[in-house]
Amino acid sequence: MSFKFLEHTADVLFQAEGQTFESALEEASKALSTTISDKVQKKKEFEFEESAVNIEELVVAALSRLLVESEILGLLPGGFNITSFNEKPGNLQVKIKAWAGEGKQKTIVKGVTYGMLKVERTKNKCIIQVLLDI
């Protein structure tokens, strides 16, 4: 499991990888956090659920929710763990335990976009590519 940043002219583009969709999405949350701050000290935990009609929409919804909930708390997003993932055709649901904290902000992320968004799944690997608007 890992993530890496890719070249982009104006915004932040990354790929997150895991053995499953869930682990790749958790890595994507770490990439979002790392974009905003090199180190976030955990201060507050919170839970949320998201649902979507397809896997790409679920990625954007979950990462956007982490960003928004952290901002409401006045903290920086730290990442999340997926506690439940249910995938039925046209109805995907995820339950997430997230955390936010304090740190030195290096980049302001305005949003998670659908631009250049990709989710590639094979039997043993999932790669999620996300473009962040900064």
Q: Does domain 2-133 have CATH number 3.55.10.10?
A: yes
Domain ranges of the chain: 2-133
Q: Grade residue 89 by pLDDT with cuts at 50, 70 and 90.
A: confident
pLDDT per residue as tens digits for the range 101-122: 999 999 999 999 999 999 999 9
Q: How far is 122 from 63, CA to CA, in rounded Å?
A: 22
> Rounded to two decimals, what is the model's pTM?
0.95
- For 47-90, give the secondary structure using H, E and C: EEEEEECCHHHHHHHHHHHHHHHHHHHCCEEEEEEEEEEEEECC
CA-wise closest residue to 50 among 34, 37, 68, 35: 68
pLDDT for 41 = 94
The CA-atom distances, in angstroms, between 99 and each of 43, 74, 76, 78, 124 are 7, 12, 9, 5, 28
pLDDT of residue 77: 97
